[in-house]
Structures are given as structure tokens and as C-alpha cells.
Amino acid sequence: MLSPAAPIAEPIADVLARLQLTVADELFDRALTHRSYAYEQGGIPTNERLEFLGDSVLGVIVTEHLFISYPDLSEGQLAKLRAAVVNSRALADVARGLQLGGRIHLGRGEDSTGGREKSSILADTMEAVIGAVFLEHGITGAGVLVHHLFDALMADAATRGAGLDWKTSLQEVASLGGHGVPVYVVSESGPDHAKTFSATVVVGDQTYGPGTGRNKKEAEQKAAAQAFAAIGA
């Protein structure tokens, strides 16, 4: 079983220099300016507009890549796979690898409460940097950066099931490991109008879960996700 793809571990300045994606100091500084710092400095521009732009640019580049790379996947599967790559947790992990946390301009209060490690702040800053690169180099330059940072994560998500159906992914990995077909055990509780379902899944001689949900399918998917993570590890 392959290990999950690790984010690029290299300072953002080095990455941009190596990819020949120079960004004007003022624009790059703005991409790193959190609203808490801007407020303390009397209302200077924040990175929020760049974040808005970068979010759209990232979405377009990732969507195009997935659309071309996985022609057999349905719209729903592509959407799940995209969400596995561009969610806040994934973006924050990429930002950590680029050591963005130490470069963000934060207000004193935000800084003192661990803001440099907050996934939401790191993810927003990552999007703002992508937005800044787009302004300087257009969609081609932004694509160079996004592909450098996210291609391995997209491929990893597809092969490990992060963006696809967890039950299908678990069945595949169980088969490869010689564990047989996963067996689900589902129970329900609560009144008819507000039932809660709980599922466990047996793979080989191990039981994983429980996964809970508002219906049987949701509970089974959550149990399958837990089993997939454990077997993959």
C-alpha cells in the first residue's frame, strides 16, 4: 500500500523562484496580510480579495485537470474528488509545507492564539498567493504553480478513495489485501421522524467503526471511510 502523497516541503519564496513566477513585493505582501493585522494598521488592504480570486482560479485549474485526467468519472465523482483536493484542510497542509504560517501578517491577538497554525487562515492565505500569481502571470503561470503543488495530491486522492465512493474504495483495497468482501452491520435508533443509523464494517477479522448518519447509506460510508484509513495506514 502506497503512503499518502506528502505536500511540497519547500519555502514559498524558493518555489516561486524555481518556477520563475516572480510576484511584485507589494502584491505578495498583500497576499500575506490577514484582516486582523490590517485592522491594527488602520485599515490597510487585506488579502481577502486575492483569496476570492485565488479560490476561483484554483477551482478552474483543478477541475480542468480532473476532467481531462479521469474521463470515466461521473460529474458527482469529479465533484467529490475536487472537494478532496481544494478543501481547507488540504490547502492548509500545502501552506504548511510552504512555511506560509511564519510569513503571514497577523494581528497581535490572532497571533497570540495560534493563528499561524489555524487551517482556515492558512488555506485562505494559500488561495491569496495563487490569486497574486494569477494577476502577475495569468492562468498559465497560476497553472504552473497549482500543478506543482497539487498534482500529486490529486492523483493520491483518486487512488486512495478520498474523492470517490468509500465503500467501493474499501472493497477494492480489501480485495487487494486478500481480506474478502467487507460485511456491514447496521442498527437504528430513535423515533421514525428522526432515526439515527449506526454501522460497523468487518474486514477480515477486524471490525471498524461505528459510523453514524441519518440514513443507512451515510452510516455505512462513514464506517467504510474509517476502515479504509486504518487499512491504508
By annotation, the residues acting in catalysis are 55, 127
The C-alpha cell that represents 157 in the structure block: 486522492
Give the span between the Cα atoms of 8 and 171, in whole angstroms: 30
**At 100, which amino acid appears?**
L
Q: Is 124 annotated as a binding residue?
A: yes
Backbone angles phi and psi of 212, in degrees to 5: -120, 150
Give the span between the Cα atoms of 95 and 124, in whole angstroms: 9
Q: Is 127 annotated as a binding residue?
A: yes
The C-alpha cell that represents 77 in the structure block: 465523482
Ordered alpha helix ranges (H), the chain: 12-18, 25-31, 35-40, 48-69, 75-86, 88-97, 108-112, 119-160, 166-176, 216-232
Q: In angstroms, what CA-CA distances link 5 with 9, 42, 145, 156, 221?
A: 12, 42, 17, 6, 23
- H or E element: which one contains 70? none
Q: Which residues contact 208 (CB under 8 A, 6 or more apart)?
A: 200, 201, 202, 223, 226, 227, 230
Q: Which residues pair with 186 in a beta bridge?
A: 199
Q: Which residues are annotated as a binding site for Mg(2+)?
A: 51, 124, 127
Q: Which residues are annotated as a binding site?
A: 51, 124, 127
